[in-house]
Structure 1
């Protein structure tokens, strides 16, 4: 017997060894971060709920089974299966009861694990200080209490149903319930003991269901029946009274079930249950549907007005839109060069480098070695020569898939980290069309100085690395191939000097090498959970994280900043968020109707230290988590000023808010219902080909157009004194067929510390049409000078890439700016900025530089950070020789004549003009190619050389 037990225990340990190792190494990992109390609190809550739920179910089921077994045994034949089962149970009743309880209680216990977050919020309640308009309860009841109470009521209802069924089966087994089949009609007889027992259980089920109905009343504040979310006219006038009636009937049914214990038959309980189902069906379901269809819908705007007002107010508060400052934008096309000069800082910071395109440029110019990569390019601002300047930057991270040799030693011991970062002003361009780097190369050169360039933690870093081994780590390779090495001297990671720990990690990662490698020493440390999003999600899984962490350089070190959100789907009367423009990997890809960016997370790229700063102490959910995990959070007042200066208003939060503002900028219930003034996010110019007058054509009537992404700017807003770092999103009027493309307004959100989070909306005049981004983009592409240049730059061997179209508000005017990049076709293409298009009013200009294009439109322009081709200064004009320009103009006219001939049905004239245009264009290309020594170089050759 003892040997058998030992064998079983050994087998269980072998099977569960990896799980045990995972638990142990998690404990070590949290300890290395000095956050073990967080781990124990979360794990303890999960285990505690599972155990309590399982025990409660056991307490419910075992006494009921024992009570049923002690009933009178019925007669039966020895070979009757029921009698045979009864005899087996009688031999070991305690063991059988415990076994049944354990098997059935297991899923009910596991169900409790899923409610761990609801319990933490329930037990750390913080009032919102705002009451809902229907029940006059604090919003905190709905956010903190209702979710767990609803889970508990549903759990208890399900548990009692299972206990009742199990008890009925036990009574049948022990003869308390008999099925008589001898008569013509089969019948069921029941002893008084069985009847009393089951009546009490059913009464308990009825009372729990009454409790469910009570909670369902409160959940009406999230109803989706009406025009908007929240309790509607039908919910308040029909569904709420129906729930009240069902509560009464449930209680009456419970009373009748108890009263019927001493009466013969089941007439009263059947009547009660029948009435219960009738009311639930007719009063609780059919009547509200009929009321909605025949009374509400014919006069919906009137009936729902009060409830729409409640929804507007609640949604604005829940989405952080209640303090939006709305300002008129007196659109003016009389912007003068002097006013442009007054906004020189805005012009100097116009972003000419599209992050998606710049990542490829960075990769080609600055990856240095194939085992480095730039995962993402981010936007921030830094002081450059004493002036706040918009910056694009990217961390040079390790690319473990491109190591010189993919061995375990290389992957885990030698190539362990990325190295440095690159930074360049968003407006700076060298004379050859490349970014003008502030920080570049390996080791990092430039300012801000990076004194600790090694990145052991970053984006998309999987697996583990072991440092302080007998093998030096490779920082980088010099030009002659010699490796520059280093040894880790930080405090990050977990020590694996002991055999036990090495065995645990070998089991965790399914890799025996940490256990057997001869490079391991007593000082060795293992770094894992190195992906920064995985890292913070493991520490605080109750927060939701932005998909775009970004690096900042502070005090010579690289620190990752991640925006963390608190959300809830229980805010009364608030609309569920529109998540249509969120990235697929966003932590906000779940239902919610309340959101705050209450937490900023800083992760040190070298040590992996993580600090959670609560920056919005007015958020009750963040306050509740701070009560639950006091060791985890740091007060926002303790954020270093150098780090706070790099906080950005999160793009994902801004996407949600601008999605919602399209409807919720309307404050009047009647106008909200008619949606006559509803807005939509401006169409992405690259996804729509709008005519200059925005008239709909066959290819522009789709309502599924992609939308413009918001973008960061360092600029001065109208009527303000200084430039600030902000994010901007343009709007157009809403239309079902998506043909409305005039600008309706734009929203901004500020990021600088003194005004962080301030939202402003500028509204275009209603008495005139202001062209939106899609219309302006179409006009740019149709401008002959622009289209000719794009065609010329796209000749054999080269490709033109159009950057983001930016809407730049200057005073009460709008300047549209779009950069053009040229890259050679092929695997090693380097996109280079070659042209900039500027549109203002009816004027469109293209030049080698932004300054040149602005000067063409306004007569003069402030200095920018660009260098013109050749001499390092701005160059106006198109950069094309006069002769080539003349030929291109003639070619464009020939093509226009060909189009006219085609419309007139003159095929001969069409072919003649088409051939004429082709010859003129080819001649222009030959002329321009001959200008390579004195004018612009042959783009195809230049990019090929690059």
Structure 2
């Protein structure tokens, strides 16, 4: 058969490339088609049909039920628009991409089948298949399968494609190409996906067609005797040319991906990338397009395989030389000998981009010199900070809550939250926790108990951060069941149906009364009165949820009423993620009492890994869901979940974030403007811990704005390592009055120490209140001044003889000593180091606050109360106490040393003594009431009286 005939009389005549890919094939000679032997089946067609129908029902009904249950959930939450906006684009993408794939795949398979039939071959199985009367349906069947498979890959990209369609500008241009950052965040991912998708699809087509040709050509042929027909060659070269062109497009896109190069001096492109690799990629793109043209030319000109091999070889050699050799030579002989000068510009690009991407380009920085130690004047200037000093370590307090307030085994406190409330007209820092349901410890876990009766937790427990009751226990402001409150904070809806603990689905408004709390010999019960959950009163709804949950008792139980509802998706983070999976949620949801209701507040972030030049979050910065890979983050949304009815709100608090603006265009009904947030809710917003931890770690290096300092890593800082170091917290909330401010505010703060040293170099705070919410402030200390760091203070505490001896004595008596986290708290212009100490009997898990350790200016004191320790610290004068500790080894104080006698007469001495006693009493009264102005005045009067009594001092 003449494969090169182009006169229209051959099997592929009339097509300029020898019959590929379309055409009627001219007067094709058809071979006689052998038939397959008939096979008798053990089942009738009717039986097979019934089996197939049963299989379809068994698989399809649960899927339909799951779909309907999803829809009912979104309907109950009044966000069906979110359901359809998520679902319809996925199916639309499946349809569009499958159609595009089919248009590409089917003609190629049809042409390949037609060409393969014309190739002489052995009378084997492949020949039987190709010549069977059903074989004409093979391209359609295989094409549909490949098209749907390729189209399904697009369904998981619905978020990326919606962002491509609705994205906007950031208003910031990258330093290399001058494109708006929005191009890289919203558009570049789509073009990358499309290019890779097309390459994968065409490669699969080439593999399938190539396999068909290979089996046909080599069946019955001897080695070395195979001649590749011209239509096969034309088909393969056409596919190869298209793939090569797509490869060239990948080089064009890789030019932009240089902005994410992780292998340079900094993240992003350096000198070699811009002056060598970028040029190489542009040249390779041009070569790839030229190679694609040459492959098409080889079809028309009937060039030999040698020519094709030369084209491919030249391309491969150029790729190796331009991508590997040329950049390596530039790096080794141009950059390395003068690296800083060559990389300086790109280091500046990285610093600027990173600070902006993490929202740290507007941090307010000040330099201060702290006082040598806490003074009475500092205490008088900042009494609110001392009033709100946190004495309860969250670990010890959680143990106390569990022992004192869980009350029954089916309740649980999972975490301690820290917040602030106005109590008695003053802003007070508080610690609180919800009493959630936990049925893991229940002995009789029947279906009724788990899903109908024990459906919710109840109430909260709260104490002031500095409040200590009898026997070293927390002084609880809100406690017990039903809740008893010692402060003006009423809770009208104490039931908790949604929380942090994992909870199974629950049915409410049934004929079974729900358990509220134990009450004497009986139990208090109630019936749910909210509109949370999904209506399940009808038989149809119960059938749907029977299939969706795989629980037949839902269908056959007689406890349901027309008003019954099912409550599920009860973990607050999982609930929010189901409504808005494109947001990243903070690992620490916290509760607040808003209008008498318990409300969960969850911080939500918009993130991206595609901000040009920005340093990505590395492994050591991971916390919660903020894992490695992101290099842009904004806390754009504050979410609330009502603990009773589960209704969610997504408040947008950062209108300038382009990513949340994009999602608002996609889901306009989901978000609520931040301006509609109530003032009561706004008063409980916090700077989120996860965001602050990421920013604090980034700023360890990126506070160095000078490229030279940054390049040499001359001033890298460390944050405390938090949970890895049991003595310190990496970041924590405090009530504090910043320098220059008139009133205290709630802050998230962290201290910094230089790398390799333990002294403190600075501290950073995120502000939480009012118009200052979201602002970052940094206070630097002079490098020539020693400011004790937390680890140094911990060492001083451990080296204090009195403390060390007492700790040993307690341990010998069988008590467990628990040292709380050491907190560094600014007080006016001084730093106060606070560390609580707890004792716990070995046979009990109830810790008691036994001592409060304070330090300032390198001096360590402790006492049973914070007031007592503070008094010792404020009254401390160098040399008055522990004088023997500072003497050289082997020396002791002189035994004859006595105080100098007063110079005044007896009557005058008595008068001065009464004045001193009066001043002392006034100081103690002022100390108890935290009136630091009165305390300072009283101590001043005491000093005057003592100076008058001992004009020459104590010898």
Class of the TM-score when normalised by the shorter of the 2 chains = 0.7 to 0.9
Q: Of residues 729, 742, 758 in structure 2, which corresponds to 1:708?
A: 729
The offset of 1:179, in angstroms, is 8.2
- Report the CA distance between 1:213 and its aligned residue: 1.1
**Cα distance between partner residues in 2 of 1:293 and 1:119:** 41
From 39, 64, 71, give the equivalent of 1:20: 64
Q: Residue 597 of structure 2 corresponds to which residue in structure 1?
A: 557
Q: 1:298 aligns with which of 337, 346, 349?
A: 337
Give the TM-score of the pair, scaled to structure 1. 0.85
Range moving further from structure 2, 425-434 or 663-672: 425-434
- Alignment partner of 2:532 out of 488, 492, 517: 492
Residue 120 in structure 1 maps to residue 162 in structure 2: yes
Question: 2 CA distance for matches of 1:344 and 1:721?
Answer: 12
Instruction: State which of 286, 311, 333 in structure 2 corresponds to 1:248.
Output: 286
Change (3 A) 1:93 1:683: closer
Q: Report 1:448-597 matches (<5 A).
A: 448-480=489-521, 482-583=522-623, 586-597=624-635
| Residue in structure 1 matched with residue 697 of structure 2 by the alignment | 659
SS at match of 1:426: strand
Q: Secondary structure at the match of 1:102?
A: helix
Instruction: Provide the residue aligned with 1:65 in structure 2.
Output: 109
Distance 1:360 1:122, change over 3 A: same
**Aligned residue in 1 for 2:871:** 855
Aligned to 2:474, the other structure's residue is in SS state coil
Contact map agreement 1:430 1:436 (CA 8 A) in 2? yes
Could you tell me how far apart the structure 2 residues matched to 1:399 and 1:376 are?
13
Distance 2:691 2:171 in 1: 24
Given that 1:457 and 1:532 are in contact with CA atoms closer than 8 Å, whether structure 2 keeps it comes out as yes
The alpha-carbon deviation at position 505 of structure 1 amounts to: 1.4
- 1:152 paired residue number: 194
- Paired with 2:250 and 2:452, the residues of 1 have a C-alpha distance of 58
- Which residue among 397, 405, 412 is the counterpart of 2:451? 412
- How many correspondences in the alignment? 838
Alignment-derived partner of residue 652 in structure 2: 614
**Aligned residue among 842, 864, 873 for 1:825:** 842
Deviation per CA, 1:648-682: give whole Å up to 9, x if none: 00000000001000000000111101001111113
Inter-partner Cα distance in structure 1 for 2:735 and 2:375? 21
SS of match in other structure, 1:769? coil
**C-alpha deviation, 1:433, in angstroms:** 1.1
Q: Secondary structure at 1:131's aligned position in 2?
A: coil
What is the Cα deviation at residue 750 of structure 1? 0.4
CA displacement, residues 123-177 of structure 1 (integer Å, 9 cap, x when unaligned): 111100110010000000000011121111111111111112223344456x6x6
Distance 1:124 1:9 in 2: 43
Q: Distance in 1 between matches of 2:456 and 2:823?
A: 36
2:825 corresponding residue in structure 1: 808
Is 2:373–2:831's contact at 8 Å kept on the other side of the alignment? no
Mapped partners of 1:2, 1:37: distance in 2: 43
Q: Distance in 1 between matches of 2:748 and 2:139?
A: 64
Give the C-alpha shift of residue 36 in structure 1: 1.2
From the superposition, tell whether residues 111 and 685 of structure 1 become closer, same or farther in structure 2 (CA, over 3 Å).
closer
Q: CA offsets, 1:445-494, max 9 Å, x none?
A: 213110000000001233200011111001011122x0110000110111
Contact 1:725 1:750 (8 Å CA) reproduced: yes
Question: Deviation at 1:180?
Answer: 9.3
Distance 1:517 1:270 in 2: 75
Deviations 1:201-242 (A, max 9, x none): 222112211211111111111111211111111110111001
The reply on whether 1:723 has 2:761 as its aligned counterpart is: no
Paired residue for 2:899? none
Partners in 1 of 2:149 and 2:796 — Cα distance? 64
Indicate the SS of the match to 1:66: helix
For 2:326, the equivalent position in structure 1 comes to: 287
Matches within 5 A, 1:270-281: 270-281=309-320
Q: Normalised by the size of structure 2, how large is the TM-score? A: 0.85
Gaps of 5+ in 1: 689-705, 862-884, 898-946
- Judged with a 3 Å threshold, the aligned counterparts in structure 2 of structure 1 residues 543 and 77 are, in CA distance, closer, same or farther, namely closer
For 1:449 and 1:229, locate their aligned partners in 2 and report how far apart those are by CA, in whole Å.
53
Deviations along 1:406-435, one digit per CA (max 9) or x if unpaired, are: 111011100000001011110111132111
Deviation per residue, 1:267-318 (Å, 9 max, x gap): 4433222222112212112322343344323322222111000000000000
State the secondary structure of the residue aligned to 1:126. Answer: coil
Q: Does the CA contact (< 8 Å) of 1:461 and 1:530 recur in 2?
A: yes
Q: In the alignment, which of 165, 168, 174 is matched to residue 210 of structure 2?
A: 168
Task: Find the counterpart in structure 1 of residue 807 from structure 2.
Answer: 790
Deviation (angstroms), 1:765: 0.8
Mean Cα displacement is larger for which, 308-317 or 393-402? 393-402
1:785-829 deviation per Cα after TM superposition (whole angstroms, max 9, x unaligned): 211222233343421111110101122221111011111112x42
- The whole-number CA distance in structure 1 between the counterparts of 2:822 and 2:117 is 85
Give the Cα–Cα distance (whole angstroms) in 2 for the partners of residues 685 and 794 of structure 1.
24
- Secondary structure of 1:428's counterpart equals strand
Contact 1:353 1:427 in 2 (8 A): yes
Deviation of the 1:510 alpha carbon: 2.0
Q: Which residue of 1 aligns with 2:432?
A: 393
CA distance in 1 between counterparts of 2:305 and 2:123 reads 33
Following the alignment from structure 2 to structure 1, what is the Cα–Cα distance between the partners of residues 672 and 649? 7
Q: Is the partner of 2:131 in helix, strand or coil? A: helix
Give the SS at the match of 1:709.
coil
Question: Does the CA contact (< 8 Å) of 1:62 and 1:98 recur in 2?
Answer: yes
5+ residue gaps, structure 2, are 1-44, 891-955
Q: CA deviation at 1:48?
A: 2.2
1:587, distance to aligned residue in structure 2 (A):
2.0
* Residue 626 of structure 1: aligned partner: 664
Answer yes or no: is 1:650 the counterpart of 2:685. Answer: no
Per the alignment, do residues 684 and 198 of structure 1 end up closer, same or farther by CA in structure 2, a change over 3 Å counting?
Answer: closer
Give 2:402's aligned residue.
363
Alignment of 1:420-439 (within 5 A): 420-439=459-478
1:122 to 1:349, Cα distance in 2 relative to 1, 3 A: same
Cα pair 2:728 2:823 within 8 Å, conserved: no
- Contact 1:351 1:426 survives alignment (8 Å): yes
Q: Secondary structure at the match of 1:835?
A: strand
Q: Distance in 2 between matches of 1:573 and 1:375?
A: 40
Task: Report matched runs for 1:87-126 at 5 Å.
Answer: 87-88=131-132, 91-126=133-168
Please, which moves more after superposition, 75-84 or 847-856? 75-84
SS of the residue corresponding to residue 428 of structure 2 reads: strand
Distance 1:407 1:180 in 2: 70
Q: Which is further off, 252-261 or 387-396?
A: 252-261
Greater gyration radius: 2
Q: String of CA shifts for 1:311-343, please: whole Å, max 9, x gaps.
A: 000000001110111110212215421321221
SS at match of 1:261: helix
Per-residue CA distance 1:352-396 (angstroms, 9 max, x = gap): 111121111011111122211111101000001011111100001
Q: Distance in 2 between matches of 1:23 and 1:796?
A: 63
Distance 2:138 2:228 in 1: 26
The residue aligned with 1:755 is 772
Contact 1:495 1:523 in 2 (8 A): yes
**In the alignment, which residue of structure 2 is the partner of 1:134?**
176
